[in-house]
Amino acid sequence: MENKDTQWNLWEVFVQYKAGKAYEHVGNVHAPDAELALQNARDLYARRERLAGMWVVPSEAIVASSATDSESFFDPADDKVYRHPLFYKIPKGVSLDVE
Amino acid sequence: MSNSELLFEYLLRNGDDRVVLGQRMAEWCGKGPIIEEDLALANISLDLIGQSVLFLKYASEVEGKGRDEDALAYFRDERKYKNLLLVEQPNTDFAFTIARQFFYDCYEYYFYTELANSSDETLSAIATKSIKETIYHLRHSSEWMLRLGDGTDLSNAKLQDAVDYLWCYTAEIFEMTELDNALLADGIAVDLNKIKPLWDAKVSEILEKAKIKMPDENTYMIKGGRKGVHTEYLGHLLSEMQILTRSYPGAKW
């Protein structure tokens, strides 16, 4: 039997913690339309802390890579070690504590 | 009544409106039509209960008899409650809950807008703090009014029923009692006559957009909440709300 989601459409929620920062994916909500998606997202994800912004995006609008793409997409080029940031020696006195 | 007795009574009215409606909305917890909406209703409930604490805490200070906000909420009987009849009406169904909330949110929004100018600094601070929540509540209930009214035939019929049923409790909201007039003279209370036309305009705008007919203008208006004369529903609500504290006074957990 098909296990169908009987709830409203799914929306992905992204929040911005500070103006100018990147939006981060925090989860999803069900909602019948965009305005209510925003309201539901606010109730679920914005009640505990102060946010600078919020996006909701229909989940079906997300284009995702597939598991079979994994090798060709994501396997680091292990034969080219110089592509890794850790390949380079960091001079003393340079702080790694960057945000 | 002395000035502080008048103020105490005014604070009770406002605290009671919010604690009773907060309790009503809390009844939805775990029973919402969908989990996101369940959460939204519970959030609104918590906001209202939080606001009631502000009013009742201040009431406790003004009274100065050592009754704190919990004592005021849990150890007063039905006849001592001074909330509007509108807020004690049962949830019935989702459309009914939304209509009740919309009428109330709309009032509360204009009420706080005015109360923010109160000569009483504590009241003004409560209004300024609370109105942010109210703006969100009004947005939530207005959006649902539109969706239910302009949704299916069934949702429209249910919302129309709710609006028609609740209409008789809306005049009481704007009744200027002696107490209101006395406190208004000192710049403390809100002039309800001033916010009534704003409420009327907003309500008729949303009803029209929601394709809901305005209720009969000759509807007989029921009042009494501000005098402690309630509908049959408040006693049941209070018994559920108060039983734990009354069964185990001073219980802590």
Q: What are the extents of the domains in chain A?
A: 9-62
| Contact status of A44 with chain B (Cβ, < 8 Å) | yes
Residues from chain A contacting residue B140 (CB–CB below 8 Å) = 39
Distance from CA of B18 to the nearest CA of A (A): 20
What average pLDDT score do residues A3-10 get?
76
Q: DSSP label at B80?
A: G
Helix/strand/coil percent split, chain B, to 5: 70, 0, 30
CA dist., res. B223 & res. B48, Å (int)? 22
CB atoms near residue B181 (< 10 Å) = 12
**ipTM of this complex:** 0.74
- Residue A48 main-chain phi, psi, to 5 deg: -95, -20
- Which helix (H) or strand (E) covers residue A25, if one does? strand A24-30
Residue A31 contacts B where some CB pair is shorter than 8 Å: yes
Contact B34 A7 (CB under 8 A): yes
pLDDT tens, per residue, chain B with 253 residues? 789 999 999 999 999 999 999 999 999 999 998 899 999 999 999 999 999 999 999 999 999 999 999 999 999 999 999 999 999 999 999 999 999 999 999 999 999 999 999 999 999 999 999 999 999 999 999 999 999 999 999 999 999 999 999 999 999 999 999 999 999 999 999 999 999 999 999 999 999 999 999 999 899 999 999 999 999 999 999 999 999 999 998 888 7
pLDDT of amino acid B104: 98
Distance CA B91, CA B37 (A): 15
Looking at residue A97, its pLDDT comes to: 67
User: Chain B within 8 Å of A27 (Cβ-Cβ)?
Assistant: no
CB contact under 8 A, B36 and A42: no
What is the nearest CA distance from B35 to chain A, expressed in angstroms?
9
| Closest-CA residue to B25 (of B49, B51, B61) | B49
A40 touches B at CB < 8 Å: yes
Alpha helices by DSSP H, listed for chain A, are 34-45, 70-74
Out of B35, B136, B143, whose CB is closest to A35? B143
Class of the domain covering A9-62: alpha beta
Classify domain B3-247 by CATH number. Answer: 1.20.1260.10
